[in-house]
Structure 1
Amino acid sequence: MIILKNVTLRRGSKVLLDKTSVTLNPGEKVGLVGRNGAGKSSLFAVLNGTLHEDGGEFSIPSQWRMSQVAQDMPETGQSATDFVVEGDTLLLAAQTEVAAAEASDDGMRMAHAYMALHDAGAHDAPARAQSLILGLGFSVAELDRPVNSFSGGWRMRLQLARALMCPSDLLLLDEPTNHLDLDALVWLEAWLKNYAGTMVVISHDREFLDAVTNVTLHIDHSKLVRYGGNYSKFEDMRAEQMLLQQAAHAKQQEKVAHLQKFIDRFKAKASKAKQAQSRVKALERMEKIAPILADADFQFEFKEPFSLPNPMLSMSAASFGYPAPSDALAGTGPTVIVQNINRSVLAGQRIGILGANGQGKSTLVKTIAGALQPIGGEIITGKGLNIGYFSQQELDVLRPADNPLDHMIRLVRDTPASVRPSAMDCREQGLRNFLGTFNFSGDMVKQSVGSMSGGEKARLVLCMIVWQRPNLLLLDEPTNHLDLATREALSVALNEFEGSVMLVSHDRALLRSVCDEFWLVSRGGMKDFDGDLDDYQVYLLDEARRQRESASRKAA
C-alpha cells in the first residue's frame, strides 16, 4: 500500500501539505481533487519520486511497477505502432536480454531469455499497441504514420497509449481526458475499469471520475482528506460537511438563489422523455452543489443580449468542409465532410452537437461562426445575430505578448459602436473593472498572456465573449482547461443565458445540464439524436466496433 504519515510538502515558501496522513490500498482507483494550486501535481511528483517530502514519512512498495503519461511532446520518426510498443518496459527489458544472451553464446541464458520474451507477450505486442491506438481515436490508416506527422494533441494521445501499454502496479494519470473526444473518452473509461492495479487520476471531468474511481482524495487547506466513493459521493459528503460548518449562511443562500433559475428551468421541461430523467439527477446534484459553489473562487453570468432574432439562422442545402488547397492539382475540389443540411437555430434553443471523432462537429461550428465558408448551399443569419465563438484553438488566437487589458482594448476597437456597452464600460477603468469580475485584478491585467495557465487563458476568452453580449453561443470544447469549480460556474451561467447555445463537448456533465436537444453529425449528414447521453455512449461503442470491423474487412 501507499502510506503518507505526517507528510509536509513545500514548493518555495508555500506549504502545500502540512503534516498530513493518508493510506491508499492496492487496487484502489483514486480521484485526486482540489483547487488549482492546491498541490495535486506536486503530490504526483512525490508518488513518482521526482519530488521528496520535506517532513514526515512516505512509503510505496519497492516492487511496484509504475506508469504515467510523459508530458513531453514526442519527436520521433517512429511509426505510431512502434512508439506505443516501446511503452512496454517489460518487453523492452526482455528484448535487451535476448540480444545480450545471443551475444554471449550461452545456450542456457538464451533459453531463459526467449522464455522471458514469450512471457512478456512479444508475439502480440503490435496487436495490443494497435488496439490502444485505435481505441484512442486513430484510424487504421494512421497506425504506421510517423509520430512527427501528428499534431500536438494527437501525439499526446500516443503518449497516453504508451503509458497504458506499460505493465504497471501503479498508474498515474494527470488530466488524461484533455485531448480526447467523447468517443475516445468512453473507450478509455472502459479500459480503466478493467485495469487491475492501483490508479491515481487528476481530472476536471466529473463523469469520468464517477466512472473510473472508487476513492476520492481531496487536498483541502494543506490536508489530504480521504472519502470512500467516487466524485459525486465525495461531493455529497462535502456538501453536507459544509452545510454543517458554514458560518456564512447568508452567502450560501445568495448562491442558492442564483441557482434557482437553473432549477426552475429544468422543472419546466420535465416532460422531455428520456432527457427529463437526466434533468432530475442534475436537479438533485445542483441543489447539493450550492454550498460548494458558495465556496468557489469564481462566478460569472452572461448579460442579456441586445436582441433575440428568431430564427437565429437557417441552413439551406448547406454543405460544410474545407476548400481545395491553393497548391492543389487542377480539378481537385474541396473536401466535403457534412452535406445537404436544412435546419434552423431558434431563439432559446440549447443544442448539443454529437458525433464520433472526425465526423465534422467542429467543421459545422466553424462554418456557422464564419471561420469557414460553406462549400455549398447557404446560411441565412437573422437580423442582429451576434455570435460568441469559443474555438478549440481559441487559446492559440490570444496574443502571447499582450496582456488582458490589451485584449479588451482591442476588442472595444473591433466591436461596432452599435453593439458596444456604455461608453463608461469601454474606458480603461471600466475594462479593468470588467476583467476583475473574471478574477483578472491588480497586476494580472498587465500580465502577458503567454505566461498564463491554460485555465487563465480560457477565462480570458470567456471574459471577452461575455463582454460582447452575444445572442448565440458557439462553444467547441470550452472546458478543456477549466477546473471543476469553473466548469460548474460555466454550467450555471449557460443555464441563465437567454440566447441560444450550440455546444460541442466531451464533458457529459455540461452537456446534460445545458442541452435540451442533441443533433448527431454522422456519415456525412446530420439528424436529431432522440436518446440521452447514456444511449449516445452505447452508440459510440457500437460505431467504433463497426469501424474496426469495416477496416478489418478492407485489410483482408
Structure 2
Amino acid sequence: MSYYVEGVLSNGIEDFEDSDDLYDAIGGILHEVAEGRSVDDIRDICDKLLDIMRVECGVKLKNGNTKVLNAPVHLGSMAANLQDNVDNIKSIWMLQRDETLKVDAKKLEKAEQKLQQKQEKRLETAVSNKTAPPVKLESATASQVTSKKEAKMEAKGVNRGQDIRIENFDVAYGDRVLLQAANIVLAFGRRYGLVGRNGLGKTTLLRMISCGQLRIPSHVSVLHVEQEVVGNDTTALQSVLECDVARETLLKREKEINVQINAGFLRCTDAKLSTELSEIYASLGAMEADKAPAKASVILAGLGFTKEMQERATKQFSGGWRMRLALARALFSRPDLLLLDEPTNMLDMKAIIWLENYLQQWPTTLLVVSHDRHFLDTVPTDILYLHSQRIDPYRGNYEKFEKAKTEKSRNQQREYEAQMQHRAHVQEFIDRFRYNANRASSVQSKIKMLEKLPELKPIDKEVEVVLKFPEVEPLSPPILQLNEISFGYLPDKLVLNNVDLGATFESRICIVGENGAGKTTLLKLILGVLTPTVGTRVAHRNLRCAYFSQHHVDQLEMDITSVDLLQREFPGKPIEEYRRQLGSFGISGDLALQTVASLSGGQKSRVAFAKMCMAKPNFLVLDEPTNHLDIETIEALGIAINKYTGGVILVSHDERLIRMVCKELWVCNKGTVKSIEGGFDEYRGIVERELQELSK
C-alpha cells in the first residue's frame, strides 16, 4: 500500500491540479489505513500533503509564501512536524510493511483508473491546444548474459579464439521484442547470410554487434559497412589505402626519419635513426606494403571505379559512389568480422558479379544481410534464419536452406499432429473411465503420461506477402513511343544517341547496364521529365505514368504515420480508403499507425509503392524497386507485376525478378540502347567476359 502511495506522489505536483485530484488518487487507500477518520480528516491530510509537494517544487502556497529548497526533502520526516490533527501522517509514510494489512483491491484499482483518466484528459487537452510533445523515435536496446568463465578470460586477456559466440541475448526496439534468448555462433573463416522477413530486426542486430551492445571478444576487429565515406580532398585510392593504419603509420615515420637524416640534424642519433629505419623497412616488407596500391586499385576497379575515378577527390562523388568507396575500404582492411547490409543495393550487374567472386575467397568471418537470391546462393557457406524472436542456423547456401527449412517444418508439423492424435486418444480413455473404480490405476497412469509428454507447438506459418497494383482500363495503341531520340545535358556531349523504344500495356521491359550508362536519364525521357535534344516522344493522351525512384524511400516524410502521409498527398478521402491502399501493400493493422521512421527499409518501400499507386497509374516506371525488400516481398512484387494489366518498364539488377517478369531486355552501353535477343543469360555472359578481360 505504502509503495502505491509513494509511487503516486513521486510523479510530482504536475499530476494534481488541487487537493480533490489528490484525494481521488489516494483517498480510498488512506481511509483503509486510518480507520475511524472522517472524510474531512482525510481531505485535510490531502491538503497538507499537496502543500508539502508545492513547497518542494517551489510553487506558491495559498498564503503567497514560497520556499526555495537547498536540499532534498523527505516527505516522511516533514509529515512528523505537521499540526497535531494530522500527526498520524507519519505512520502512513514510515510504517513498516505489515503483511497482515489488507487493502481493498477494487478500491486500489479504482484509484489507479481515476489517476489514469486525469492524465489522459491532460494529454487530450495538450493535443487540442497543439502543445503535444514532439515525436521521439524509439531506439534499439540489447541485453546479454555472459558466462563467468568467458568474463574471466576476457579480463585476463587470454581469450584469443577467433570464433565468436553471442549467447542468450535479447534485442528490443522500443516496446517491441525482436529477439529473445537468442544465440549466434560465428565460426572463423565461414560466410553467413542473415535472412528473414522485413522488420524482424536484421539491420538492428548488425548495429548492436558493431556498436558493442552485444559483446564479442575484444581482440576481434569488427567493421560494419553502413555509412558512406565523408567527402574531402583525399583521392579515392588514397582513401582506401588509409584503412591500413599500420602501413600508414610506418610510412609516415619513414618520411620523418628520412627528412631528419637528409637535413643532417642530430648527427649523434643518426645510428639510432638508421636502425629504426631498417626495422621500418623490414616491417613494410613483411606486410608487402608495396603491393597495397595495386590491391586497392583492383578492388576499386571491381566496384566500377575507372583509373581516372580512382584519382578523383572523394568529395566529387555522389552518395552512391561513396557507399561503394566505403565497401572498398572494408574489403581492403579485412577485419576479423565484416558486417555487410544489402551490399548489392548500390551496385550494377558487373560489380555484383565481381563482388560475388571476391567474397567467395574471403579469408575471415563474414555476416551479410541480403535479399538478392543469386547472391545468397553464391556467397554464404551458412544461413542464419531470423524468425519468431530467435535465430536458427543452417549449413549451406540459400537453396539448401530453403529445402532444409521446408523439410524441418514438415517434420515438426507431422510430429505435432501425431502427438495431438495421441493426446486425444489418451484423453478419450481418461474421460471414459474416469469414474470407473476398476480402471482407476490405469486412468492415473494415463494422466501422468500426458503430463510428461513434451509440449509441442504448431508451426507458425508466415503470413503470405501479397502486393496488388490497381486495375486499369485498356487504351488503344500507340501507348508510348521514343522516336530516334538523342539527349545530352550539354549540347556537345550526348548521354544517349538515336534511341528507338516502343512500349504497350503488355510491355515488361528491363533496362540494364553499368552505373552512369544513362539508365536513369532514359527513364526520365520515357516519363517526359526531360525533353529530347533530338527526336520526339509520343504518348497516349490518357497515359498516367507512375515513377518509383531508387531514392523514393528517402524522400518520404518520416515523422508522420503512413495513413497521415497518404492523407496529406491525397486529401479528402475516407480513412478506410487510405488503410485499404496501405493494406494492399502489406502495411496493415498497427504498422499503418506507426511513424514512417520506425518502419524497416522494406516496409518503407511498401509505403512508397502504396503512395505511388494511389493515383491509379496505368503505366509503371520502376527504378531499382527491390532495394530493401525481403525475398518473399520481391517474389510478391514479381507476381503483382505479372498480374498488372498496365505497362511496366523497370531498372533492376535482381536476377530473380528479371527472370520472373521481363519479356524484353534493353542494355544501356556507351550512349546506345540495344535489345538483347538471348535475354538475361546472354547479358550475364557478356558481363562475365568483360570481367575476365579486366582481370588479365
Query: The TM-score by the shorter chain falls in which range?
Result: 0.7 to 0.9
2:495 maps to what in 1?
Answer: 337
Say if 2:166 and 2:214, in contact at 8 Å, map to a contact too: no
1:300 maps to what in 2?
Answer: 467
The answer to whether structure 1 residue 379 and structure 2 residue 537 are counterparts is yes
**Matched residue type, 1:203:** S
2:514 maps to what in 1?
Answer: 356
1:285 maps to what in 2?
Answer: none
Aligned with residue 486 of structure 1, among 622, 633, 647: 633
Equivalences for 1:15-414 in 2 at 5 Å?
15-45=177-207, 47-48=209-210, 50-52=212-214, 64-69=220-225, 71=227, 73-95=229-251, 98=254, 105-245=272-412, 295-296=462-463, 298-322=465-489, 324=490, 333=491, 335-400=493-558, 403-409=561-567, 411-412=569-570
1:542 maps to what in 2?
Answer: 689
Higher relative CO (Cα under 8 Å, sequence separation at least 6) belongs to 1
308-317 vs 476-485, greater mean Cα deviation:
308-317
**Matched residue type, 2:196:** G
**Matched residue type, 1:371:** V
| Residues 382-428 of structure 1: per-residue CA shift (max 9 Å, x gap) | 34322121112323444456654454345546xxxxxxxxx9xx434
Inter-partner Cα distance in structure 1 for 2:185 and 2:636: 32
SS in 2 for 1:303: coil
Say if 2:198 and 2:602, in contact at 8 Å, map to a contact too: no
Q: Return closer, same or farther for 1:367/1:91 CA change in 2, 3 Å cut-off.
A: same
The answer to whether structure 1 residue 437 and structure 2 residue 581 are counterparts is no
Q: Return closer, same or farther for 1:41/1:447 CA change in 2, 3 Å cut-off.
A: closer
Listed as ranges, the gaps of 5+ residues in structure 1 are: 54-58, 248-291, 325-332, 414-422, 550-556
Q: Return closer, same or farther for 1:5/1:353 CA change in 2, 3 Å cut-off.
A: closer
**Matched residue type, 2:398:** Y
**Matched residue type, 2:644:** F
The answer to whether structure 1 residue 9 and structure 2 residue 9 are counterparts is no
Inter-partner Cα distance in structure 1 for 2:478 and 2:522: 18
**Matched residue type, 2:657:** L
Q: Return closer, same or farther for 1:319/1:29 CA change in 2, 3 Å cut-off.
A: same
Say if 2:235 and 2:314, in contact at 8 Å, map to a contact too: yes
How far off is 1:66 after superposition? 4.1
How far off is 1:439 after superposition? 4.4
Q: Return closer, same or farther for 1:450/1:202 CA change in 2, 3 Å cut-off.
A: closer
Inter-partner Cα distance in structure 1 for 2:248 and 2:225: 18
The answer to whether structure 1 residue 528 and structure 2 residue 689 are counterparts is no
Inter-partner Cα distance in structure 2 for 1:352 and 1:168: 37
How far off is 1:507 after superposition? 1.2
How far off is 1:45 after superposition? 4.5
393-402 vs 463-472, greater mean Cα deviation:
393-402
**Matched residue type, 2:198:** N
**Matched residue type, 1:77:** D
Listed as ranges, the gaps of 5+ residues in structure 2 are: 1-161, 261-268, 415-458
Inter-partner Cα distance in structure 2 for 1:49 and 1:396: 24
Q: Return closer, same or farther for 1:452/1:223 CA change in 2, 3 Å cut-off.
A: closer
SS in 2 for 1:148: helix
Say if 1:320 and 1:375, in contact at 8 Å, map to a contact too: yes
Inter-partner Cα distance in structure 2 for 1:316 and 1:223: 55
How far off is 1:209 after superposition? 1.4
366-375 vs 295-304, greater mean Cα deviation:
295-304
Q: Return closer, same or farther for 1:152/1:357 CA change in 2, 3 Å cut-off.
A: closer
SS in 2 for 1:535: helix
Say if 1:90 and 1:166, in contact at 8 Å, map to a contact too: no
Inter-partner Cα distance in structure 2 for 1:384 and 1:293: 46
Inter-partner Cα distance in structure 1 for 2:164 and 2:219: 15
Say if 1:503 and 1:511, in contact at 8 Å, map to a contact too: no
2:107 maps to what in 1?
Answer: none
**Matched residue type, 1:363:** T
| Residues 313-332 of structure 1: per-residue CA shift (max 9 Å, x gap) | 1221112343x4xxxxxxxx
SS in 1 for 2:495: strand
Inter-partner Cα distance in structure 2 for 1:465 and 1:537: 31
Inter-partner Cα distance in structure 2 for 1:518 and 1:486: 23
Say if 2:199 and 2:603, in contact at 8 Å, map to a contact too: no
Inter-partner Cα distance in structure 2 for 1:15 and 1:471: 41
The answer to whether structure 1 residue 471 and structure 2 residue 629 are counterparts is no
1:517 maps to what in 2?
Answer: 664
Inter-partner Cα distance in structure 2 for 1:491 and 1:246: 29
| Residues 83-104 of structure 1: per-residue CA shift (max 9 Å, x gap) | 1111223423543664687788
The answer to whether structure 1 residue 496 and structure 2 residue 643 are counterparts is yes
**Matched residue type, 1:192:** L
Say if 1:90 and 1:167, in contact at 8 Å, map to a contact too: no
State the identity %. Answer: 37
| Residues 436-468 of structure 1: per-residue CA shift (max 9 Å, x gap) | 433445676566556654333321221123333
Inter-partner Cα distance in structure 2 for 1:3 and 1:395: 34
Aligned with residue 457 of structure 1, among 582, 586, 604: 604
2:32 maps to what in 1?
Answer: none
2:654 maps to what in 1?
Answer: 507
Inter-partner Cα distance in structure 1 for 2:594 and 2:222: 38
Q: Return closer, same or farther for 1:45/1:430 CA change in 2, 3 Å cut-off.
A: closer
Say if 1:89 and 1:167, in contact at 8 Å, map to a contact too: no
Q: Return closer, same or farther for 1:546/1:26 CA change in 2, 3 Å cut-off.
A: closer
> What is the number of residues matched between the two proteins?
479
How far off is 1:353 after superposition? 0.9
189-198 vs 303-312, greater mean Cα deviation:
303-312
Inter-partner Cα distance in structure 2 for 1:431 and 1:170: 44
How far off is 1:216 after superposition? 0.3
How far off is 1:162 after superposition? 0.5
**Matched residue type, 1:370:** G
| Residues 322-371 of structure 1: per-residue CA shift (max 9 Å, x gap) | 3x4xxxxxxxx264212212232133121111222222111111110122
Inter-partner Cα distance in structure 2 for 1:398 and 1:487: 21
Inter-partner Cα distance in structure 2 for 1:121 and 1:173: 27
How far off is 1:23 after superposition? 3.3
Q: Return closer, same or farther for 1:64/1:534 CA change in 2, 3 Å cut-off.
A: farther
Inter-partner Cα distance in structure 2 for 1:42 and 1:393: 21
2:62 maps to what in 1?
Answer: none
SS in 2 for 1:336: coil
| Residues 96-119 of structure 1: per-residue CA shift (max 9 Å, x gap) | 664687788344433222111122
SS in 2 for 1:115: helix
Inter-partner Cα distance in structure 1 for 2:563 and 2:396: 43
CA RMSD between the two structures: 3.2
Say if 1:386 and 1:471, in contact at 8 Å, map to a contact too: yes
